[in-house]
Structure 1
Amino acid sequence: MIKTLIFDFGDVFINLDKENAMNHALSLFEIDSFSEEMVAFNCFYEQGLISTEEFIDFYLGNFPDLTEDDILYAWNCIIKDFPEHRLEFIKNLASEKKYQLILLSNTNELHIDLIKEKISFYEDFKNCFDVFYLSHEINLRKPNADIYQFVLAENNLTPETCLFIDDTEENTIEASKLGIHTWNINPKTEDIINLFNIKKELF
């Protein structure tokens, strides 16, 4: 029996535009793909291992013809809208008090600050959860196994009683290796509000 629901944030609740954001960045930087160093710095930033200032300085140092505004736009243009029907879904779920609700998101200070500015109901959303884990605040990042082990240990959870919903397949694969039930949601064809129909065999 599922007792705990663990949700990703981006492309589960708030819409992201990953493809266009990546294309914009590649065009802006005039590169074909991100270097290993760039990928590493992005991961460091998502784990809160470097500050926003250090993150921006890294890109300005590598692309001196660009401005800070160029970097900020490239990084933040991935963030889109947050449909209110999804807020209602999680609010209703929270009010029922039937499941423990946990948010587990790979994110960073710049994105969260932007979301707080853009989404007027961010605090209402956050308050729906029993626990709200952001990667840059806990210094852990999906899909590394240690982030799931951390969530399980911190909340005294049994993996078999948890369902983890994430749009990134590698994240759900790693969680499932620990015995956690998963739903690799497709944001183009599926919506979190249909959770109990799509995964009805678990409830």
Structure 2
Amino acid sequence: MSTIKTLIFDFGDVFINLDKQGAMKNALELFELDELHEDLIAINTLYEQGLISTEEFTEFYTDNFPELSKKEIIDTWNYILKDFPEHRLEFIKKLAKEGKYKLILLSNTNELHISWIADNISFYEDFKSCFDTFYLSHEIKLRKPNADIYEFVVQENKLKYEECFFVDDTKENTDTAASLGIHVWNIDENKQDIVELFVINKDLF
């Protein structure tokens, strides 16, 4: 049996529900596209990694889609964000209170999304305070699934890879973490819930 000392959690579709398909459909309809062009994917990635500002990000879209307002662009960008079931907050609060594990949040996210969450999820600050460290990609200028983001977290917190357990809904992200020796759970957000962590992964805990 391994000794897990640190739990590292993704945010979207682990704690807060996302509508990835709906958001993509909504964006393609608004932009009148069949698929997202490479330059749009590239700018989204730069923004998520904090390599361009919110102003530069929205300006890029209003320049490329002049018929759309800045508000329409922002609303489309935030369309993906849905509800945050409170039983998941209770789960992380209980873990924090027990103090058995170091708790880290590691999320690919951006300024607009976090602003929306802070404004619309009443218990966001309570949630954030449960974690020993709270890493957002746009703040640390690193992004999953790149290996350097995991190396950064491990080094910054003086951890051992084999003593970490990482939960993420994106297989690409958990694959990279696993290749470094981190224990992982690629959660299926359609069938599983983070509160089942210790039941589903009982062989590790």
Q: In the alignment, what sits opposite 2:191? A: 189
Please report how far the alpha carbon of residue 168 of structure 1 lies from its aligned counterpart in structure 2 after TM superposition: 0.5
CA distance in 2, matches of 1:94, 1:70: 38
Please report how far the alpha carbon of residue 117 of structure 1 lies from its aligned counterpart in structure 2 after TM superposition: 0.5
Please report how far the alpha carbon of residue 73 of structure 1 lies from its aligned counterpart in structure 2 after TM superposition: 1.1
CA distance in 2, matches of 1:73, 1:120: 19
Q: In the alignment, what sits opposite 2:66? A: 64
Q: Deviating runs (4+, > 4 A) in structure 1?
A: none
CA distance in 2, matches of 1:169, 1:33: 22
Q: In the alignment, what sits opposite 2:43? A: 41
Q: State the secondary structure of the residue aligned to 1:202.
A: coil
Please report how far the alpha carbon of residue 65 of structure 1 lies from its aligned counterpart in structure 2 after TM superposition: 1.1
CA distance in 2, matches of 1:87, 1:22: 27
For 1:153-185, what per-residue CA distance to the aligned partner results, in whole angstroms no more than 9, with x for missing partners? Answer: 101111111110000110001111100010000
Please report how far the alpha carbon of residue 70 of structure 1 lies from its aligned counterpart in structure 2 after TM superposition: 1.3
The 5 Å alignment of 1:9-48 reads: 9-48=11-50
CA distance in 2, matches of 1:191, 1:110: 26
Please report how far the alpha carbon of residue 34 of structure 1 lies from its aligned counterpart in structure 2 after TM superposition: 1.2
TM-score, length basis structure 2: 0.98
Q: Larger deviation: 4-13 or 59-68?
A: 59-68
Contiguous gaps of at least 5 residues in structure 1: none
Q: In the alignment, what sits opposite 1:180? A: 182
- Alignment-mate amino acid for residue 28 of structure 1: L
- Alignment-mate amino acid for residue 72 of structure 1: I
Q: In the alignment, what sits opposite 2:149? A: 147
Contiguous gaps of at least 5 residues in structure 2: none
Q: What is the aligned-residue RMSD (CA, Å)? A: 0.6
How many aligned positions are there? Answer: 203
Q: In the alignment, what sits opposite 1:96? A: 98
Q: In the alignment, what sits opposite 1:78? A: 80
Q: Larger deviation: 27-36 or 7-16?
A: 27-36
For 1:96-143, what per-residue CA distance to the aligned partner results, in whole angstroms no more than 9, with x for missing partners? Answer: 000000000000000000000111110100000000000000000000
CA distance in 1, matches of 2:32, 2:175: 33
CA distance in 2, matches of 1:181, 1:31: 39
Q: State the secondary structure of the residue aligned to 1:132.
A: strand
User: Percent identity over the alignment?
Assistant: 67
CA distance in 2, matches of 1:132, 1:32: 36
Please report how far the alpha carbon of residue 189 of structure 1 lies from its aligned counterpart in structure 2 after TM superposition: 0.4
Q: In the alignment, what sits opposite 2:114? A: 112
Q: State the secondary structure of the residue aligned to 2:203.
A: helix
CA distance in 2, matches of 1:133, 1:169: 19
TM-score, length basis structure 1: 0.99
